[in-house]
Amino acid sequence: MSSEFQQRAAELIDAGHLLYARGMVPATSGNFSARLPDNTLAITVSGRHKGRLDDGDIMLADAAGHSLDGNRPSAETLLHVQIYTRFPDARCILHPHSVNATLLSLLADGDVELRDYELLKAFPGIDTHECRITVPVFANDQDISRLATVVETRMANTEEVFHGYLIRGHGFYTWGNSVEDALRHAEALEFLFDCELRRKGVSPK
Amino acid sequence: MSSEFQQRAAELIDAGHLLYARGMVPATSGNFSARLPDNTLAITVSGRHKGRLDDGDIMLADAAGHSLDGNRPSAETLLHVQIYTRFPDARCILHPHSVNATLLSLLADGDVELRDYELLKAFPGIDTHECRITVPVFANDQDISRLATVVETRMANTEEVFHGYLIRGHGFYTWGNSVEDALRHAEALEFLFDCELRRKGVSPK
Amino acid sequence: MSSEFQQRAAELIDAGHLLYARGMVPATSGNFSARLPDNTLAITVSGRHKGRLDDGDIMLADAAGHSLDGNRPSAETLLHVQIYTRFPDARCILHPHSVNATLLSLLADGDVELRDYELLKAFPGIDTHECRITVPVFANDQDISRLATVVETRMANTEEVFHGYLIRGHGFYTWGNSVEDALRHAEALEFLFDCELRRKGVSPK
Amino acid sequence: MSSEFQQRAAELIDAGHLLYARGMVPATSGNFSARLPDNTLAITVSGRHKGRLDDGDIMLADAAGHSLDGNRPSAETLLHVQIYTRFPDARCILHPHSVNATLLSLLADGDVELRDYELLKAFPGIDTHECRITVPVFANDQDISRLATVVETRMANTEEVFHGYLIRGHGFYTWGNSVEDALRHAEALEFLFDCELRRKGVSPK
């Protein structure tokens, strides 16, 4: 493996430990990847526990998400491929699966709108709390190719800049130009989801 | 002790530390076991603190739950025996005692039904969120032999596959084909109980 | 210092780290003590941070709570003296100051009654969930001598066995026959207060 | 750098790790400073992650907040300068950004009043729970100079002693005569904000 692969793998492993400690990747939920300079992907192997990741849990795939080393990548690899294709600067994708994200995705009517929070400045290009970002909520689908098309269609048909999205009952995706950036976005979204959920209150179904 | 016993004991000790860190085995609540290839059980000694387990806190019992080494096993050993008898592939049983499980068991009308969560895929044989699992809620009973019979009767008279159950005011049981599997199920159930409880809201008694 | 003092001091320091990690002794709140065989007390020095206790933060006092080493003991030392006098077997007293205890003490109408929880078995002499314990709630008072008299009067005039009490807006006291026992009681009460508070819901003032 | 700088920097780094572990400085939110005997400031560099601070993340600025070492100080440096100017004894300022503070600042009608909590004694000059402190809530403003003027105007026109303030949607500021004191105040305010928020309940916007 290249040293580039090894560095990104080490960062993804650390991200897993950190997100697990915050309750954001329980059981074997979640998956992570980083895009290398040659457009291959360092990505979590399917079914591994993100809080106990080690070297053998990060594998190499090509830009289309096909395994290059015989391991089986996350079942949701095509969602990673869609994001990397849509955002040429994206270098890391994190998919946490927190209680806050799961609940908010189930309780939201349509998309989640976040506004007036200072922490919105954690996202690129935002320098004031006096703004609004939209976090789309997509229906869950076990057909990942179809879900990736739904996500791509939504992104292709808007001027809005997205920094993450929710899948109903299934956590959220976010990305950045480095593992550090993606982690900052994951922490910010988790914080904002927590705020939104508590402002909403959680009432009888 | 056999090296098999020692390996399983080490895994149960780690599981205790992990579950305690998540607030799932306060005080001396909870108990854990693993089934060895010769059908003996490595099981927590009665009354030990699960967050501070060490080698002396895991003992050997026979398949019927009788002590083989002079230590006194958990008062709830017969619940372990029932599960191992019913599920020939089960190799580990974990009984956490979290606030979420306790509250949900007290607030539920009848059984708990979990549906439409992606995390249901943490359980064996489930490959889509579009399903439903039932978590039975049994009345608490200090007569563990009688409680084991109630559990067995319920399991014997249904086509449904159970992955865990709640005891009212008393936490939950789950199991798996390895300590790692059982831990994944414990984390998944805790997450799902948290979601259910917050969706329900918790209102005046 | 005697080796007995040093052992109890080390246990109290560990208890402080553990309770702080659980959010139960924020800022410099809380205080702890252990009774030595000669009836002197190892007790936390006034104003120290319980999450960062070290050897210099545990001092020696006599059975009446007067300093034996020039340090100033916790302002609430007389509450410790009352408990040790009333319960001859008590060897350790812990006073955590958690959000759950603070809120429950403010919201309770009169005493807190805990019933039907399996975790009640964490207290001595209780072997079934089918029971009820009372946790008295006392009004807060900066006159600790007067508060100690109120506590003693309540305890002297009842057949009930208490395992802890709340002070309004001010956390709780619990005790045991060893530091380990007192910690088990503290963990159990915190768990039960959390359950009660969430069952009650927390509504507009 | 002076050894004074190095000691304060080490304390601010520890404070960052501690506050991050409690969820109080997510993403790259928050900022911290300490005033040195020569009135220069050790202050966090703009945009650094407070949970992963190291030596290179603390810089030197003059009393007016201008960089003395080429690094760019926190965008909110002028809020630090206002506090140090107003309170000659202040030696440390901490600005955490917790969910509790964010939510309470958004839900409060006007200022937050804290009364009858024993933990109010964590603040200097308070020796009884029978008192009341006011935590002003200021509107958020990206023009930090203007915001500093608003804060100063409020403080200049009252007899009240403030121990901290909230900025709407943007966390809180607190300070003390040492890093240890400021941390105690940060822990106490976080605890009290949590209590207030839960007493209020969080209901639909």
Query: Which chain C residue shows the shortest CA-CA distance from B29?
Result: C119
Q: Is the model's pLDDT at C7 over the cut of 90?
A: yes
Q: Model ipTM?
A: 0.95
Subunits next to D (3 or more Cβ pairs <8 Å) are A, C
Q: Nearest Cβ partner of B191 from A99, A170, A201?
A: A99
Query: What tens-digit pLDDT sequence spans chain A (205 residues)?
Result: 689 999 999 999 999 999 999 999 999 999 999 999 999 999 999 999 999 999 999 999 999 999 999 999 998 999 999 999 999 999 999 999 999 999 999 999 999 999 999 999 999 999 999 999 999 999 999 999 999 999 999 999 999 999 999 999 999 999 999 999 999 999 999 999 999 999 887 543 3
> Could you count the other beta carbons within 10 Å of the beta carbon of residue C4?
14
Whether the pLDDT of residue B8 is over 80: the answer is: yes
CA distance D22 to D18: 7
CA distance C41 to C54: 17
Q: Who contacts B3 (Cβ-Cβ below 8 Å, separation ≥6)?
A: none
The percent of residues above 90 in pLDDT, for chain D, comes to 94
CB D14 within 8 A of CB D25: no
DSSP labels for A50-117?
A: GGG--GGGEEEE-TTS-BSSSPPB-TTHHHHHHHHHH-TT--EEEE---HHHHHHHHH-SSSEEEES-
- In B, residues 52-91, which contact C (CB 8 Å cutoff)? none
What is the tens place of the pLDDT at every residue in D30-69? 999 999 999 999 999 999 999 999 999 999 999 999 999 9
- Summarize pLDDT for C120-150 with one digit per residue, the tens: 999 999 999 999 999 999 999 999 999 999 9
A chain contacts of residue D76, beta-carbon cutoff 8 Å: none
**Residues B111-139: what's their mean pLDDT?**
96
Among B14, B19, B64, CA closest to B41: B64
For C75-102, give the DSSP string: TTHHHHHHHHHH-TT--EEEE---HHHH
For B133-185, what is each residue's pLDDT tens digit? Answer: 999 999 999 999 999 999 999 999 999 999 999 999 999 999 999 999 999 99
Percent of chain B with pLDDT over 70: 98
pLDDT value for A200: 81
Residue C74 pLDDT > 60, yes or no? yes
| CB nearest C201 (choices: B23, B171, B203) | B203
Cβ-nearest to C117 among B107, B169, B202: B169
The DSSP code for B137 is: E
Q: What is the mean pLDDT of residues D1-17?
A: 95
Q: In the structure, what pLDDT confidence band is assigned to residue D1 with cuts at 50, 70 and 90?
A: low
Report which residue type is found at D44.
T
Do A27 and B187 count as a contact with CB atoms less than 8 A apart?
A: yes
Residue in chain A closest to D143 (alpha carbons) equals: A128
* Residue A102 to chain B, least CA–CA distance (Å): 8
**D196 touching C, CB under 8 A?**
no
What is the distance between the alpha carbons of residues C195 and B146, in angstroms, rounded to a whole number?
27
Option in A27, A142, A205 nearest B184 (CB): A27
What mean pLDDT do residues B13-35 have? 96
C28–D122 C-beta distance less than 8 A? yes
* Residues paired with residue B175 on neighbouring β-strands, in sequence order: B93
**Which residues of chain D neighbour A184 with C-beta distances below 8 Å?**
27-28, 49
Contacts of D188 in chain C (CB under 8 A): 26-27
pLDDT in tens, B79-104: 999 999 999 999 999 999 999 999 99
Mean pLDDT value of segment C40-57: 96
Dist. CA D145–CA D147, nearest whole Å:
5
3-class secondary-structure state, position C50: helix
Cβ separation B195–A99 shorter than 8 A: yes
Q: Do residues D194 and C102 make contact, with C-beta atoms less than 8 angstroms apart? A: no
Task: Record the tokens describing residue A9, joined without a space.
Answer: 């793998």
Closest residue in D to C27 (Cα) is D184
Averaged pLDDT, D15-34: 96
* pTM, to two decimals: 0.96
The pLDDT tens digits of the residues spanning C152-167 come to 999 999 999 999 999 9
Q: Using a pLDDT cut of 70, give the percent of chain C over it.
A: 98
Residue D71 has pLDDT above 60, yes or no: yes
Looking at the complex, report in whole angstroms how far the Cα of residue C204 sits from the nearest Cα belonging to chain D.
Answer: 5
Residue of A185, A193, A199 lying closest to A166 (CA atoms):
A193
Give C128 to chain D, closest Cα distance, Å. 32
Q: Which residue has the higher pLDDT, B1 or C81?
A: C81
Check residue A204 and give its pLDDT.
38
Nearest to A137 by CA among A114, A116, A121, A117: A114
Cβ–Cβ contact A102 with B under 8 A: yes
Quick one: tokens of D68?
Answer: 């003395």
- Residue A2 pLDDT: 86
pLDDT band at B202 (very low <50, low <70, confident <90, very high): low
Which chain D residue has its CA at the smallest distance from A116's CA?
A: D169
C195·B28 Cβ contact <8 A:
no
Predicted confidence (pLDDT) per residue in C160-193, tens digit: 999 999 999 999 999 999 999 999 999 999 999 9
* D97 contact A CB<8A: yes
Q: What is the pLDDT of residue D80?
A: 98
pLDDT at D205: 35
Residue B99 at interface with chain C, using a CB cutoff of 8 Å: yes
- Say whether pLDDT at C102 is over 60: yes
Chain A: give the shortest CA distance to residue D66, in Å: 21
User: Is residue D154 within 8 angstroms of chain C, CB to CB?
Assistant: no
What residue in B sits closest to C196 (Cα-Cα)? B103
> Which residues on A lie below 8 Å from B185 (Cβ)?
27
> Strands D164-167 and D137-138, how do they pair?
parallel
